[in-house]
Amino acid sequence: MNLKNVIGAMTLACAGVSSVPALAQQTAAQQPQGWMWGFGVAASQDVYTDFDNRIVPIPIIGYTGEKLRVYGPFVGYELFRESGFTLDAQLVPVFAGYEEDDSAVFTGMDDRDFSYAAGIGLNYDTGSWIYSLSTNADILGKFDGYQASASIGKRFRIDNFMIEPSLGVTYQDSNYVDYYYGVRPEEATTFRSAYNGDSAVNTEIRVAVSTPQFLDGMTRLEIGATFFDDSISDSPLTDDDTALSAMLVYTRFF
């Protein structure tokens, strides 16, 4: 499972706002500041062959200040804000990869490791529509590549509930795809051919519902689907081109 969507749901629930761009756009007067705690659970499919669905518990400790936001390994720092636009510097983990014993399809292959990336995000918040662009690059030398994302979302409020559908695309360069979905020549077998991954553009649709109604904190449920590019679904390591995910997160300030 690519857990990059943990960033979105976890960050949003921590902040008590309705989207990643919205988080970036909240002013110091609007957004509570200080330390927070919480917990959650994420469930996701993966397109790797015979790879078990993952259920991941999420303990949360975070801090939000006037410019700095820290949610576990996710770090953002506001560089610029003007007329609904916000530019952030970001440090984010890359939750991808596998170990050899995760599936029989990986037998005889080297593990593919998680990594950490640095980048920037540009957001524009009109109040109801939210637009986001971001890019980040590997800084640990695991896949030596980069990713870039663009999304658009809209907020609907019904009583104490915020409903947020969104649509996004993510570009992953050939180094990323080849590292996580490629098969090196020395790893090829009779049943697993060598494969050199090309760059990919994946599409995501998501719907989130958040509310401050329970236990004096913020509760957020998000469900979504990712539709993978042919350069990923054609890999001998995968057997599908679509992955579903769901996440439930609760947070509150100390």
- 207 strand-pairing partners: 165, 223
- Express each pLDDT in 113-165 by its tens digit: 999 999 999 999 998 999 999 999 999 999 999 999 999 999 999 999 999 99
- Strands 146-154 and 161-172: what pairing? antiparallel
- Express each pLDDT in 74-88 by its tens digit: 899 999 999 999 999
The length of the chain, given as a count of residues: 254
Instruction: Tell me the C-alpha distance between 210 and 224, whole Å.
Output: 15
Instruction: Tell me the C-alpha distance between 86 and 22, whole Å.
Output: 10
Burial class (CB in 10 A: 0-12, 13-18, 19+), 72: middle
Specify the pTM.
0.85
Measuring CA to CA, which residue among 38, 67, 46, 76 is closest to residue 210?
A: 38
- Express each pLDDT in 237-252 by its tens digit: 999 999 999 999 998 8
